[in-house]
Amino acid sequence: MLKALEDAGVKPDLIVGSSVGSMVGALYAAGMSARELERLAYEINMLQFFEFRTLDGGLATGGAIQNYVDSKVGGLAIEQLKIPFVAAATRMSDGKIALFNHGDTGLAVRASGASPGEFEPVRIGDQTYEDGDEASPVPIEVARRLGAKVVIAVDVSAFVEDTPKTAPVEWIAKDARRARQVALEAKDADVVIHPNIGYYAGQSEAYRRRVIAIAERVAREKIPAIHAALARAGEFPAQTASMARMPSGEASR
């Protein structure tokens, strides 16, 4: 998706990421190009995120993810990134969305992607946080609240109609919940990019190449609509969002 936007001359001036989208968003906000991110995706060895505690059924801490992100952004705090960035997580005390816009970048990403059942909740200050997907899988309303004139939303969730009969019941319930949440916010996006990358995720390089190619193709098909939205907002061709303000959010310290 980012490759398609770059080639079309579309440059975001605000990035909001939830769950794994916060990792991609943070690295892009730090200055990596779309093609650099693509190369990074092919080079990732999943073993570098492995934690032995999971062998006995324990939950991963996500510490390796935090260290990975911090190393890739050169230790920069969120407020030091080249593009304004917000990582969305779910605050467990009330189940509401929490926005990290200053502090440790890797820690914010770790909290944003702490998927229940796979990762321990992340404690920051006097609160604990889990995957932003629980509160807002595609945080479109957040982008609007932060002043975005044009919102390009990226949804990488599974297509409900493609759910295999063998899918676990809890997966089906989660997919239905996610679809409802995305639909509620989608009306506030100018363009929604939702590539059908298949139901099951994979770790092989072949899988990564396939889904990146699919997403790029779908994003390129949306470029005319994106240009039209930017033109209507008077932002064409340089920007996708113009922030009126950046209100105080959570600090990942």
Q: Which residues of 71-101 are buried (b: 16+ CB within 10 A; e: fewer)?
A: ebbeebbbeebeebbbbbbbbbeeeebbbbb
131 is catalytic: yes
Burial of 247 (0-12, 13-18, 19+ CB in 10 A): exposed
How many Cα atoms sit within 13 Å of 216 on the Cβ side? 13
Retrieve residue 247's tokens: 């209100």
153 DSSP β-pair partners: 192
Spatial separation of the C-alpha atoms in residues 135 and 171, rounded to whole Å: 17
19 is catalytic: yes
Retrieve residue 58's tokens: 């324990």
Kind and range of the H or E element at 224?
A: helix 205-232
In degrees, rounded to 5, the angle at the alpha carbon of residue 158 between the alpha carbons of residues 190 and 58 is 120
Spatial separation of the C-alpha atoms in residues 66 and 68, rounded to whole Å: 5
Query: Which member of 131, 133, 155, 175 is catalytic?
Result: 131
Retrieve residue 118's tokens: 């796979």
Query: Which member of 18, 19, 22, 136 is catalytic?
Result: 19
Q: Catalytic residue numbers?
A: 19, 131
